[in-house]
Structure 1
Amino acid sequence: MDSKKRALSRRTAATLAAAAVVAAPLAAAAPASAAGSISVLADFEGGAPDGFFSYGAAGFGIVDVAADSPDAKPGQTDPTKVVSYGWDVTAPGSFGGVGQTFAGARDVSAFDGVTLMVDGSGNGASYQVELFDGGPNADASERFDVDLVDDTGGWKEVRLPWSAFTRATDFQPGGAPDDGLGLTTLWGYAIPAVNGADTIRVDDIAVYSDADLTPSVSFSAAAASAIEGDALDVEVRLDLASDAPVTVELGAVDGTATLADGDYADPAATVEFAPGETTRTIQVATTGDDVEESDETFTLGLAAPSGAQLGSVTALEVTILDDDGEVVGPPSGRAAIVDDHESPLVRGDAGGIPVGWFEAQDPSSTVAFERTDAPPAPVPGAPDGNDVLRADFDVTSFGVVVRNFTNEAADAWTTQDWSTYEGIGFWQYGNGSGTDLFLDLLDNRNPGSTTDDAERFVVSYEDDWRGWKFLTFDFADFSRKNIGNNAPNDGLTLTEMHGYAFGSLRTTTPQTFLYDDVLLYGEVEPPALSVGFDRAGYEVTEGDTLAGVIRLNRVAETDVTVAYESLSIEARTATEDLSATADRDFTPVSGTVTIPAGEREATIELPTLQDGKNEVDETFVVRLSDPQGAEFGFVRTATVSIQDDDLADPTLVEDFEATPWLYDTTGKSTLTTREIAADSGDGYEGQDAYENVADFAYKGESTLGRGFAGGEDWSDAEGLSFWVNGSAKATPVTVEIQDDPAPDDGPGTWELAWSDEFDGPAGAPANPENWTYETGGWGWGNDELQYYTDSTDNAGLDGDGNLVITAREVDGEAEGLECWYGPCEYTSARLITEQKQKQEFEYGRIESRVQLPEGSGIWPAVWSLGTDFREVGWPQTGEIDIMEYVGRLPNEIFGTIHGPGYSGGQSYGGIYDFGQPVPEGWHEFAVEWTPEEIVWSVDGIEYHEAVPADVAPNEWVFDHPFSLITNIAVGGNFGGALGDDLEFPQSLTVDYVRVYQAPDTAERFTASTVVRGTGWQQVTIPFDAFERADEQPDGAPDDGLTLTDVQGYSLTFAGKGTASIDRVTVD
């Protein structure tokens, strides 16, 4: 049984009923009144719409729902089709979703938001609705999203106004703009999975307006192509169904293709939409010939609408593809056949991974393949009886034919080295279907992997020709493809190729493609020989020895040597670990390792040390230096995270492993800590190999003690124990327990509990009893650009009662500062009260008076983080942003909470608009935090509040101690791109940070004992020996020693001497 438990706060008991009320999801999900105008994006009546897709650990299928089915939608009277969408993203690093990309961008700015019907399971899994806005295409558009929770079984309408969407923080494609949700260029949408495993049904995805809008008529796409001689299907669409007929005139304008030359037939026509109809398809004929010529273009246009207005895409450029050119075969010069399909297409298994040839597809698709000697036409130049690969695709979301390299027995996944070739090519028989196709390359895997974690690279192309054609793709044309399989991320190395795949994301009709003679072509210089670790981060169980792998990027012809060294680090890394201590947590090693000629890797042993303490995981680094015979590779420095394997001691109150910042002393006394070794002669029975103990030197009656930021429950224990080593023959000790307090009457009764006024000489660092400087340049989870330093150049006192945090532009290469993107370009500071247990708080008013920096890309904040974040991680620990500011929005500040299911871009927050730039003056920002609510204010004006119901059914995690943080970030996902208006240096000036809490009313109980003799001994005082103290704070209860909400304890020594103390427990 645990002797020590987390106690309920003073006000929690009175608010349990309110906190238990189940509220609506984060975004409005209740049925709303019918909108004035609805523009349907997908209703699935004709199956999955063009451009519909799935990705990652998700899939979909179109299902029929009868009107009398239990699964019918409310009010459904006819059979209908809906999409069934399932996902499982429970595995670490996994992701997935479904969505739709439009053939052309759509202007939805006249509408008010998105609506969709959702049939949930109610299992609590989370998902998003995400918009693809702006940019030149869907792949480079800016993402905006909103979180939803599957909290209700059955159908409901989810209605999301544009204001519910915020810029996505989990993913933005490269090249995406950062200019806000414009809505004039919407390229599509997605429904990504956030967590859990679930299957929901979705229907009637649409944009809505509460107003009655005029329909707009447009082309569905802005460009199209057809092989000469083919007819092109051109879709014209209305964004809104009309109750009356709608017409629009279709015409053409010559380009390099002309009517006069007979390149295409005159398409002039009146396009008519019957009432309720929203799409019309018009055929435009092109003319074939036998003349080899360049591709030619002309433009279709819309004009003179009746019953509608012209929309955003009124011109469509048509390209007529010439098909009369001579068939060009493989490039001349160096080439190597990978597969010629003359041998059987073997299937095999390598420890559960398919090898050889196999197919993969989503549940709604079918893919098949075989070897055939009867193609529609022979491959140019091929001998009689030549075999080719036939692949049949009927694809809804994705389908591939995969070639994983294997041995003759087809029981191992083997590799090939393609690093000296320029590209890959193959023959393919095209159908002119316009199908989007792709070629995947499967590059290297993680060392020692037993799963398919091969890194994928992809190139896409279109089936826009007929007959045999030899396609070539330089390796430089491939881009990385993330499929959520925890693959390496070290570029297309080409030295350990595991295979390739032919595939399609969608076929409008079943397609058969034929392939032959997959080959490598060209010659490039082999990559420079480089040496590095095989990964950037390792994990090892405490006490074990890690075998670190040092690897070459290819086999060398001569020996390669490199020096290595393991050492502690002070900078925090991308993990939540603390720094490991040499000779306590790990044994530092150094040396030189040789990778012999003809070999590719060598290992080094990195031993760690076992202890008996439950602690957070700790990290050290191992670095390479002085390479001989090779240059440095991708990973020169690797982190090693020591995974703690010791169970927490539920009886432990304090073991002084950290500097005792949370302890207060009175009288003529000093409190320090030191380390003792078990075998030093100064140890005590049962201690760990090394223990930190407190040394309390006193003269006269002196006390050391600490209060708990949140009460603790000791009611299951029988007494308080501690180990002590006194310097006197008889040492009187009085133990005091601060038991339960009176109820907290709220902010009106709070008083100053702690503050830092930042008084001190100019150039001095922040008070080390309060603040720790965190350091590092790993991006801090947000792709931030700065390196946080512990220099007073970045954070120090100004001599006028202020702390000044300054972001500076630097030459990172000259200063030896390495960031996640290369040499650092900026430095700044981040100060926290958590590390080494300096200050922590639970409930109260937290306020700070500051003057902010300015310029687009600057991101200062005063905020707080749960003190258990190293154990439970973010966002489970909770985050309260007292003030956040981003320079790109100069008039606004943000007050926000983050927790499980409502973090990052889906956080719950409020905005205060000053109507003028915030940096122009000083402002006081504050939160008032109680168990039942958090209220934000600026300059005494309340502008936002949060209560548990606002985040339900997600967990309210603001019921435990938090630490304080203040910093300036540069750039990052929220800070945004750096603007021309940003000039360095920029400073956040902090006048003070103050915390107000309820007055101390804890009822006091004391018990006395005498520590007799010197040497270590364990002292235990039963709780029934404690009596109510004569002196009590004003308002203290008088209800006996309950031990259910202990607020703190203290030890008072009398006389003169020194006492060493360790392992305070309740047993």
Structure 2
Amino acid sequence: MQARMRALSRGGGAAVVAAALLVPLGATATAAAAEGTTTVITDFEGGAPSGFFSYGSAGFGVVDVAAGTADAKPGQEGPTKVLSYGWDVTAGGSFGGVGETFTATRDVSAYDGVTFWMNGSGNGTALQFELFDGGANPDVSERFDTTIVDDVAGWRQVTLPWSAFQRATDFQPDGAPNDGFGKAAVWGYALPAVNGANTVRIDDIAVYSGIEVPPAVSFASSTASLIEGDTGSIEVRLDRALETPVTVALEATDGTAAAGDDYVDPSTTIEFAAGQTSRTVDLETVADDVEEANETLVLTLADAAGATVGSPSSMTVTIIDDDGEVVGPPSGRTLVVDDHEAPLVRGDAGGVPVGWFNAEDPNSSVAFERTDAAPAPVPGAPAGNHVLQADYRVTSFGVVVRNFTNEAADAWTTQDWSTYEGIGFWMYGNGSGTDLFLDLLDNRNPGSTVDDAERFVVSFKDDWRGWKFLTFDFADFSRKNIGNNAPNDGLTLTEMHGYAFGSLRTAAPQTFRFDDVLLYGEAEPPALSVGFDRAGYEVTEGDTATGVIRLNRVADEDVTVSWESLAIEARTATEDLSATADRDFTPGSGTVTIPAGERQVAIELPTLQDGKHEVDETFVVRLSDPVGAEFGFVRTATVSIQDDDEIDPTLVDDFETTPWLFDTTGKSVLTTREIEAGSGAGYPGQDSYEYVADFAHKGPATLSRDFAGGQDWSDADGLSFWVNGTGKQTKVTVGLKDDPAPDGGPDTWELAWSDEFDGPAGAPANPENWTYETGGWGWGNDELQYYTDSTDNAALDGNGNLVITAREIDPATTDLECWYGPCEYTSARLITEQKQEFQYGRIESRVKVPEGSGIWPAVWSLGTDFREVGWPQTGEIDVMEFVGRLPNEIFGTIHGPGYSGGQSYGGIYDFGAPVPGDWHEFAVEWTPEEIVWSVDGIVYHQADPADVAPNEWVFDHPFSLLTNVAIGGNFGGALGDDLEFPQSLTVDYVRVYQAPDTAERFTADVTVRGTGWQQVTVPFDAFKREKKQPAGAPNDGLTLTDVQGYSLTFGGSGQVSVDRVTVE
């Protein structure tokens, strides 16, 4: 299970983002149905079931609870056993949980939901209940979950109806279906931790129904295997204890195995006495000396009395032949990697174990040693041969790892396996049926000091006895994500870091022996390719980054390639803003040669120090025109310039961006221009490139800015600004808007801003309101589209609407680059950042959504500080999200620290009919106390600080608005056959209603004389209350604790330049 994290995401988690329902124990998660049927899945009376597991930063135990004690459950009459489950996921990126996988699927479709007892601490942390639905096995089943808040101390019975479950967005296994919550084939469940640290107790996990559900009898598993000559126990289960007996007939049918020759017919009638839920029948197989293929028979349940026959009603049994000749290693080219004749060294490379070591979950144990006392000699091995012996008792995972190292065992070294076809080894089997795996540890990120090796895995079963040589072609391995931020560039085999033998579960303790791990075969060397050694570099502002251009293997001849560093507007891999050439970095280009026999060459990428605090900025470096090699995996790399300048707490405005947030009155024009440091045109002390505001006016005119959220200037003495005058004496009136009356709430709000999208067809969205964000980096969710600034993807329709259109394009002809290669889709994403910002109010939009599985439109908002503090710390409010794979539902959600991605706090409105095709009005009403979501005037969700406690409520600062249409991604899901392009989100309007402007007005006059730059400071005690005030304005003096904005009114005519407005 991967880490439950998300980068800056589009909602939904994770990973982004489905709206997980948080169920407080003190509210809706209360009591199970008093009548009807409750069928217990796990009661822990026999300890943890065989399929129980833990993972990550979580562990469990089964503890005894005596009746009459403080720990006893309500109504408990005798001793019982319960699950004790603890977790600590407070560290960034940590995750964990417990759960159970079933040996066969369970059909729970006749029930209404899940119920269980939970003894919480009431500390406000949260956990999920997650079900594994459908798919070929538990590892590829679709996940559905809901989230529960532990807000009540003591025992409570939690009831979770199926309607509370949503498709998980923080994790879905590769290959999982996307076909809805069927409930007819459930493979298990998990209790993932969401946040914090806690220990809870769980008991009597069950499914419930409000009506009577007939009892069912079934096999415990749908398959079994026995080695020829063995006798095995076949388990048949009754899904709940009854007061009356149940009988069922077990019948055997020949497949390729024949009764009498290959097995003894076990046909019988099985009786469950009152209170019994499990019975076993012995199946005896017949040994012979004939080498033959494995054979099968089918067991079937029928003619049940007192119950129905449930699923699985049949079991296929495979009889494994053990008469074949033992075949040793492949002939031809081989290379022994480990023969275990040398001692098994253990070491440490900067905190990473090297040599040999074991790893396991907290409830498992793994040990290993080198021994010459195997149960039987390895075929062909000399006397005294040593083997690796590994002991496993595993509930969730356990591995014996071989990390390659040097003689001193203090470095993690690599081997090149790229010219071999596969890997093999001897293993002494026990016939236990244990599922095992072999992990390969491939390359790591360049310069890494941690274990971020990319894993690839192949699985096999212990279904033989004695020594057997196993071979696995490298093509048989699949990528394994363990959440360690590994590279994702395929099984390169050129820098192998090691391998591991492991299991996810052992029904009983097992001891396995391995020997002679070797490589075999002749593989064509991979095509010689050249690329960067990583997808992105980071460099401190003013320093020089080193880019490494690297071959995938050493070449026999020189390889040349050209490179160029440049600025681009499109986002390529991060949320950084674009760096500016010759301001933030020095652009460069050239051609480099990697000499024969060498593998890499370095290039220098200098950046520039500007002395200004700003968000991180990115430029790219691209390769072109390779000679002697083809392009490798990373042809374009990003360079993120990490700003190291301190924030100036006194700075109000410095005009480094287009002044969209300013308003002007009178006959005036406001523009900005750049002044070079040292040019003589800058203000005194200017030591870097600087943008200034030029304000040309005919007659008196005002330059003003209202703040989206109030600012506290009470520790300052005055307002200061630099001005370059006209040479004439100019009167400047400085205005302040201070301390508005208390917000009267939604009933008093009035229209503060709107975009009605009026304009000619084909025109872009109003640039005074919206910026088109561009790029194809996946946007934190592995989305498939490239966002463009083309009116092909977002334009007015001439009928008062904005239409955002997602289109399919030909990757063979496009020059657009996405994270997965040439782009296949385009769309648009618009944001009001630095143009329109809001804190509190009603955000309202009327839209018509597109359709088809994989489409993901949204109207939403992000904190204006998201480039400074990152997501989710900035906060996200989703006014509306829709995913085409759930056509009847819309989502309203908040994301913040500790409740983001799949753990977000959200609500769902089910229309009962498809949403596309009709207009709907979506709104949030946002106050300091709460956020309330509605659709077409119907309130369906609300959130307040207590709902996310103890996590931080991050919705008391300004936000920007966004609207977009994503394709695919973590929440959008796989593209379905019903998705036809183009698809459009049509937006009729976006409106914001807020409290009327009641800020108290104050002014002070100053006179600017002469020419040239001069700093003007106006003491706050010089400001006087204006006679003309808006209705409702306070009259309490200039408090400066909640400043709403300022203005500069220039008399006469001319042009003045303004820069660096500060409080002093």
**TM-score, normalisation: structure 1:** 0.93
Which residue type is aligned with residue 609 of structure 2? Q
- Name the SS of the counterpart of 1:813 in structure 2: coil
Query: How far does residue 69 in structure 1 lie from its aligned partner after superposition?
Result: 6.9
- Greater shift in the superposed pair: 209-218 or 790-799: 209-218
**Aligned-partner Cα distance in 2 for 1:683–1:596:** 49
Residue 1023 of structure 1, aligned match among 1020, 1023, 1029? 1020
* Aligned match of 1:258: 258
Map 1:146-185 to 2 at 5 A: 146-151=146-151, 154-185=154-185
Query: How far does residue 1009 in structure 1 lie from its aligned partner after superposition?
Result: 0.9
* Aligned match of 2:761: 762
* Aligned match of 1:627: 626
**Aligned-partner Cα distance in 1 for 2:274–2:668:** 90
* Aligned match of 1:297: 296
- Identify if the C-alpha distance between structure 1 residues 1066 and 99 changes in structure 2 by more than 3 Å, giving closer, same or farther: same
- Greater shift in the superposed pair: 620-629 or 927-936: 927-936
**Aligned-partner Cα distance in 2 for 1:917–1:42:** 38
- Name the SS of the counterpart of 1:194 in structure 2: coil
Query: How far does residue 953 in structure 1 lie from its aligned partner after superposition?
Result: 4.5
Q: Alignment identity in percent?
A: 79
Q: Say if 1:356 and 1:403, in contact at 8 Å, map to a contact too.
A: yes
Q: Say if 2:934 and 2:940, in contact at 8 Å, map to a contact too.
A: yes
Query: How far does residue 68 in structure 1 lie from its aligned partner after superposition?
Result: 7.4
Q: Say if 1:840 and 1:961, in contact at 8 Å, map to a contact too.
A: yes
**Aligned-partner Cα distance in 1 for 2:46–2:544:** 60
Query: How far does residue 913 in structure 1 lie from its aligned partner after superposition?
Result: 4.7
Q: Say if 1:618 and 1:641, in contact at 8 Å, map to a contact too.
A: yes
Which residue type is aligned with residue 519 of structure 2? L
Q: Say if 2:24 and 2:149, in contact at 8 Å, map to a contact too.
A: no
**Aligned-partner Cα distance in 1 for 2:366–2:934:** 60
- Name the SS of the counterpart of 2:581 in structure 1: coil
**Aligned-partner Cα distance in 1 for 2:686–2:988:** 45
Which residue type is aligned with residue 568 of structure 2? I
- Name the SS of the counterpart of 1:1024 in structure 2: helix
**Aligned-partner Cα distance in 2 for 1:104–1:306:** 23
Q: Say if 2:242 and 2:276, in contact at 8 Å, map to a contact too.
A: yes
* Aligned match of 1:9: none
Which residue type is aligned with residue 983 of structure 1? E
Q: Say if 2:194 and 2:903, in contact at 8 Å, map to a contact too.
A: no
- Name the SS of the counterpart of 1:1055 in structure 2: coil
* Aligned match of 1:880: 877
**Aligned-partner Cα distance in 1 for 2:817–2:880:** 29
* Aligned match of 1:434: 433
- Identify if the C-alpha distance between structure 1 residues 367 and 782 changes in structure 2 by more than 3 Å, giving closer, same or farther: closer
Map 1:608-1007 to 2 at 5 A: 608-834=607-833, 837-914=834-911, 916-1007=913-1004
Which residue type is aligned with residue 257 of structure 1? A
Q: Say if 1:894 and 1:911, in contact at 8 Å, map to a contact too.
A: yes
CA deviation vs aligned residue, 1:552-575 (integer Å, no higher than 9, x gap): 111222222221111112112442
Q: Say if 1:37 and 1:240, in contact at 8 Å, map to a contact too.
A: no
**Aligned-partner Cα distance in 2 for 1:37–1:853:** 42
Query: How far does residue 25 in structure 1 lie from its aligned partner after superposition?
Result: 5.9
Query: How far does residue 81 in structure 1 lie from its aligned partner after superposition?
Result: 4.0
Map 1:505-516 to 2 at 5 A: 505-516=504-515
Which residue type is aligned with residue 667 of structure 1? G
Map 1:105-504 to 2 at 5 A: 105-120=105-120, 124-151=124-151, 154-259=154-259, 261-504=260-503
Query: How far does residue 56 in structure 1 lie from its aligned partner after superposition?
Result: 3.6
Q: Say if 2:24 and 2:150, in contact at 8 Å, map to a contact too.
A: no
- Identify if the C-alpha distance between structure 1 residues 493 and 922 changes in structure 2 by more than 3 Å, giving closer, same or farther: same
Which residue type is aligned with residue 681 of structure 2? D
- Greater shift in the superposed pair: 897-906 or 324-333: 897-906
Which residue type is aligned with residue 507 of structure 2? T
Query: How far does residue 691 in structure 1 lie from its aligned partner after superposition?
Result: 1.8
Q: Say if 2:133 and 2:182, in contact at 8 Å, map to a contact too.
A: yes
- Identify if the C-alpha distance between structure 1 residues 140 and 668 changes in structure 2 by more than 3 Å, giving closer, same or farther: same
- Greater shift in the superposed pair: 66-75 or 452-461: 66-75
- Name the SS of the counterpart of 2:891 in structure 1: strand
* Aligned match of 2:19: none
- Greater shift in the superposed pair: 194-203 or 541-550: 194-203
- Name the SS of the counterpart of 2:812 in structure 1: helix
- Identify if the C-alpha distance between structure 1 residues 379 and 211 changes in structure 2 by more than 3 Å, giving closer, same or farther: same
Query: How far does residue 745 in structure 1 lie from its aligned partner after superposition?
Result: 2.2
Query: How far does residue 184 in structure 1 lie from its aligned partner after superposition?
Result: 0.7
Q: Say if 1:934 and 1:947, in contact at 8 Å, map to a contact too.
A: yes
- Identify if the C-alpha distance between structure 1 residues 152 and 688 changes in structure 2 by more than 3 Å, giving closer, same or farther: farther
CA deviation vs aligned residue, 1:841-864 (integer Å, no higher than 9, x gap): 122232233333333333322222
- Greater shift in the superposed pair: 152-161 or 1015-1024: 152-161
Q: Say if 1:26 and 1:951, in contact at 8 Å, map to a contact too.
A: no
- Name the SS of the counterpart of 2:806 in structure 1: strand
- Identify if the C-alpha distance between structure 1 residues 483 and 745 changes in structure 2 by more than 3 Å, giving closer, same or farther: same
- Greater shift in the superposed pair: 368-377 or 471-480: 368-377
Alignment of 1:1050 onto 2:1053:
no
- Name the SS of the counterpart of 2:665 in structure 1: strand
* Aligned match of 2:1062: 1065
Query: How far does residue 94 in structure 1 lie from its aligned partner after superposition?
Result: 4.1
Structure 1 unaligned spans of 5+: 1-21
Q: Say if 1:23 and 1:952, in contact at 8 Å, map to a contact too.
A: no
Which residue type is aligned with residue 791 of structure 1? S
**Aligned-partner Cα distance in 2 for 1:90–1:908:** 18
CA deviation vs aligned residue, 1:310-369 (integer Å, no higher than 9, x gap): 112111111111111111111111111111122222222323332222222333333222
Q: Say if 1:844 and 1:995, in contact at 8 Å, map to a contact too.
A: yes
- Identify if the C-alpha distance between structure 1 residues 1003 and 115 changes in structure 2 by more than 3 Å, giving closer, same or farther: same
Q: Say if 2:554 and 2:599, in contact at 8 Å, map to a contact too.
A: yes
Which residue type is aligned with residue 853 of structure 1? P
Q: Say if 1:842 and 1:959, in contact at 8 Å, map to a contact too.
A: yes
Q: Say if 2:752 and 2:994, in contact at 8 Å, map to a contact too.
A: yes
- Greater shift in the superposed pair: 387-396 or 24-33: 24-33
Aligned residues: 1043
* Aligned match of 1:45: 45
Query: How far does residue 922 in structure 1 lie from its aligned partner after superposition?
Result: 3.5
Query: How far does residue 693 in structure 1 lie from its aligned partner after superposition?
Result: 1.4
- Identify if the C-alpha distance between structure 1 residues 1059 and 919 changes in structure 2 by more than 3 Å, giving closer, same or farther: same
**Aligned-partner Cα distance in 1 for 2:892–2:497:** 49
Query: How far does residue 769 in structure 1 lie from its aligned partner after superposition?
Result: 0.9
Query: How far does residue 91 in structure 1 lie from its aligned partner after superposition?
Result: 4.9
- Identify if the C-alpha distance between structure 1 residues 92 and 537 changes in structure 2 by more than 3 Å, giving closer, same or farther: farther
- Greater shift in the superposed pair: 582-591 or 964-973: 964-973
- Identify if the C-alpha distance between structure 1 residues 400 and 950 changes in structure 2 by more than 3 Å, giving closer, same or farther: closer
- Identify if the C-alpha distance between structure 1 residues 72 and 873 changes in structure 2 by more than 3 Å, giving closer, same or farther: farther
Q: Say if 1:109 and 1:183, in contact at 8 Å, map to a contact too.
A: yes
- Identify if the C-alpha distance between structure 1 residues 778 and 1022 changes in structure 2 by more than 3 Å, giving closer, same or farther: same
Query: How far does residue 904 in structure 1 lie from its aligned partner after superposition?
Result: 3.5
Q: Say if 1:142 and 1:176, in contact at 8 Å, map to a contact too.
A: yes
Query: How far does residue 706 in structure 1 lie from its aligned partner after superposition?
Result: 0.8
* Aligned match of 2:589: 590
Q: Say if 1:419 and 1:526, in contact at 8 Å, map to a contact too.
A: yes
- Greater shift in the superposed pair: 1055-1064 or 353-362: 353-362
- Identify if the C-alpha distance between structure 1 residues 697 and 482 changes in structure 2 by more than 3 Å, giving closer, same or farther: same
CA deviation vs aligned residue, 1:261-319 (integer Å, no higher than 9, x gap): 33212212232223333222322111111111111111111122222221121111111
Q: Say if 2:32 and 2:115, in contact at 8 Å, map to a contact too.
A: no
- Greater shift in the superposed pair: 282-291 or 407-416: 407-416
**Aligned-partner Cα distance in 2 for 1:79–1:484:** 41
Alignment of 1:98 onto 2:98:
yes
**Aligned-partner Cα distance in 2 for 1:923–1:482:** 40
Q: Say if 1:27 and 1:146, in contact at 8 Å, map to a contact too.
A: no
CA deviation vs aligned residue, 1:197-254 (integer Å, no higher than 9, x gap): 5544443333233444322111111111100111122121122222332222222112
